[in-house]
Every structure is written in C-alpha cells, then in structure tokens.
Amino acid sequence: MQNIIIFGSTGSIGKSTLDVIRLHKDKYKVFALSANSNLELAFTQCQEFSPTFVWIKNPEHAATLKIKLNEAKIKTTVLHTEKQLAELAAHPEVQIVMSAIVGSAGLIPTYHAAKTGKRILLANKESLVAGGAIITTTVRKNNAQLIPVDSEHSAIYQALPYNYASLKEVGVNKIILTASGGPFLNTPKEQLINAMAKEAVKHPNWSMGQKISIDSATLMNKGLELIEAQWLFSAAPQELDVIIHPQSIIHSMVEYIDSSIIAQMGTPDMKTPIAYALSSPKRIASGSKNLNFVELSELTFQKPDLDRFPCLQIALDSLKNNSKNAAIINAANEMAVEKYLKNQIKFYDIPKTIEKALIKFDGELINDIDELLVFDKIIREYCLDII
C-alpha cells in the first residue's frame, strides 16, 4: 500500500486520479488532498477517502471545511498556508505525489516533493516550463522520480525504452508531439481576432480546465509541452517536432534512426496516462474506454499554422535559446489568459503580452527556487500594468 497526495484534487486531473484509485484501493491510499476554492467537492472527497490532511487555499473556506468535517465526524486535518502545502509535499509518510495544480502555483509542491525523493506524477507542466533546470537538478540530486502525466509526454515516455541513458544512445531521431489543434483549428485569422473566451474553452476532444483549454486554443499548450519535453527527455531543439492530429487518437510518437516510428494510441481520456504514471513500468486498469479501430473514421495530420497561432512560434524560439526565457513566457501567458477569460483582452493580445514581457525581461538569470518565485511575481505585475 502506497500513500499518495493529490495536489489539485478538485480539478479534472485530480478527479480522474481519484477515479483510477477507486479501482485500486488495495494499492493506493489517499493521504492528502488539496483544492483551490471548490469547498463542496473537497468535502465530498474527504467523506469518501478520509485523507489524513486536506489543504484548501482560502482561509475562510478552510474554516468552513473544518466545521463541516467535524460535524460529519471525519478526522481529517485542514490546512491552508503555503508553508503547510510545502510540508505536505515533503511528508515522510508519502511515496507518491500527483502534481496537478494549474499554473505556477504547482512549482512549490513539485519542488519539495523532488527535494525529498518522491515519485512525482507531473501534470503541472508549468513546473518544468518555468523551473526546468531547478526541478530536474533537484530530482537527480535526491533520486526522485519524475513521471509525466500529460497525454503527449506519457505517450513519449511509453514509446522510449525504460531507464534509458540518453536519446542518442537508444537511437532516437525525433520526438513528435501531436496537437489536436483545439477549437479554432480551421478558423480564419480575421475571425480569430475577435474570438471570445466562451468559444475558446470548448475543446473538441478533451475535458480540461479553463486555463488549459485557452492554451489549447492558442496552441500555447503545445508550445509549453515542447519546452517541458526538452527537460523531461533531455532533448535538443532539432529532436522535437509538432504535428496537428485533430482526432487525438495518436497521443505522440518517437521516430528512431532506422526510420521506425513508435506511436502510443488510445481514446482521449486522461485516466490512461494517470494509471501508467501510478504503476510504471507495470500497468494497471485505468477505467478508460478501449479504442475500437473499426469505429475510427480516419486519422489525419497537418502542419501547425504559425501565422494564425503565434504562441507556438514564441515557444519554438525559446527552445533554440535552451528555454532560458520560458519562465517569462509562462508567467506572461498565465496573466494574459486570465484577462482573456474575463473578456478584458482579445485573442491576439495574449501573444502580444508575452512578446512585450520577453523584451522587458530578456537576459535575466535565475539560480534557485526563491529567485524564481520572486521573478515570477515581478513578471506578473508588469503584465498587469501593460494589459
């Protein structure tokens, strides 16, 4: 029996993780849960899983949750400070940490889990985008495990030999990330100028949170995944590529020097990569629907349009610079998406905001996690001003 913490338990990844755990209660015990503001769902999850701890960001929500748990006679301790969040990630009784908090807020638990040698199931891509060098160095130094949960990175992870030393050693020519293209795949640029957030969050294939849905609509999600892949797989820019695959059946591919291509396929359901992250190199049931090839109408592919989706071009340029500006891209994108969701800026104001932040902060060097958190805050404040 292994103890697991689920950071972001009320989000889509967190809920899917609990779906998988329900199938394997003999293998995994929910030690702690964390939520941002969904008080009612956090309470329901505590009722079912009786974790030792639950963390909720808002102090008022924490006080209310404590009362509700006491009334229900559930012996779960309620926490709410950032220090307590870090302490949870490093708790000595925990073996597995699901890092599924959206945005840069996921950096702290990911870092402290790495520092204490945990098995980290990484669904928070911003941890590696903003702090790639810091997180991967900390993982290696403390013999932690970093296992990707994003469907694309999980696909690559599954298509590579287990415990390989380097991509070159095992004959990898190229890593190919697939992208659905999002809801605006075929939308003309003149219409995208005035595209509303309510349209952008309607992803054709995946059930995701609002922030990730907007990133998918701008293709920044794929850009962030390219940067993340650079760190996860120690890949050079020329070893990374993106192709649009609207059906989201092939989740990503690895091309080898003998011209073989190994692709991981499946229905678009996050429970599959979650189950593999929990159990790899072994496999357990995920609860996902099996893929029926007879029912597939077609699998199509096309190049991404970098003119209509400049956020992807921004990320590609960052790769060539060893992702040194990725923290700027990440913070600026988060602030712009937040404003777009509130209908305060337009679709193409998102890449414009990122480009302005890159000009302002280009060349800044970050050496540790504390500097990174301060830098992240400064970028966000700047973006608020220019927006």
pLDDT (tens digit per residue) in 69-108? 899 999 999 999 989 999 999 999 999 999 998 777 788 9
pLDDT at 124: 87
Which residues line the annotated binding site? 10-13, 38, 124-126, 150-152, 180, 203, 209, 216, 221-222, 225
Domains and CATH numbers, the chain: 2-148 (3.40.50.720), 155-187+202-315 (no CATH), 324-387 (no CATH)
* CA pair distance 228, 179, nearest whole angstrom: 15
- Predicted confidence band at 207 (pLDDT cuts at 50, 70, 90)? low
The DSSP annotation for 3-19 comes to EEEEETTTSHHHHHHHH
pLDDT (tens digit per residue) in 289-328? 999 998 888 899 999 999 999 999 999 998 887 667 899 9
The DSSP annotation for 173-189 comes to EEEEEEE---TTTT--H
pLDDT at 27: 96
% of the chain surpassing 90 pLDDT: 72
Sign of the four-CA dihedral 84, 224, 14, 96: negative
Mean pLDDT for the stretch of residues 165-189: 92
Q: pTM above the 0.75 mark?
A: yes
Which residues line the annotated binding site for NADPH? 10-13, 38, 124, 126, 209
* CA pair distance 269, 248, nearest whole angstrom: 10
Is pLDDT of 179 > 90? yes
pLDDT at 208: 64
Is pLDDT of 6 > 70? yes
- Predicted confidence band at 144 (pLDDT cuts at 50, 70, 90)? very high
Mean pLDDT for the stretch of residues 126-153: 92
User: Given the structure tokens 């989000």, which residue do they identify?
Assistant: 11
Which residues line the annotated binding site for 1-deoxy-D-xylulose 5-phosphate? 125, 151-152, 180, 203, 216, 221-222, 225
| Both tokens assigned to 337 | 């998406």
pLDDT at 197: 83
Amino acid at 251: H
Three-state SS letters, 230-271: HHHCCCCHHHEEEEECCCCCEEEEEEECCCCEEEEECCCCCH
Question: Which range has highest mean pLDDT (13-27, 118-132, 197-211, 357-371)?
Answer: 13-27
* CA pair distance 341, 337, nearest whole angstrom: 6
- Predicted confidence band at 210 (pLDDT cuts at 50, 70, 90)? confident
pLDDT at 205: 65
Which residues line the annotated binding site for Mn(2+)? 150, 152, 225
Q: Mean pLDDT in the chain?
A: 91
Q: What strand order describes the sheet that includes 172-179?
A: 240-244, 172-179, 250-256, 261-265
pLDDT at 105: 79
Mean pLDDT for the stretch of residues 346-352: 95
Mean pLDDT for the stretch of residues 120-124: 94
| 226 within 8 A of 125, measured Cβ to Cβ | no
Indicate the range of 56-60, 203-207, 252-256 predicted with least confidence. 203-207
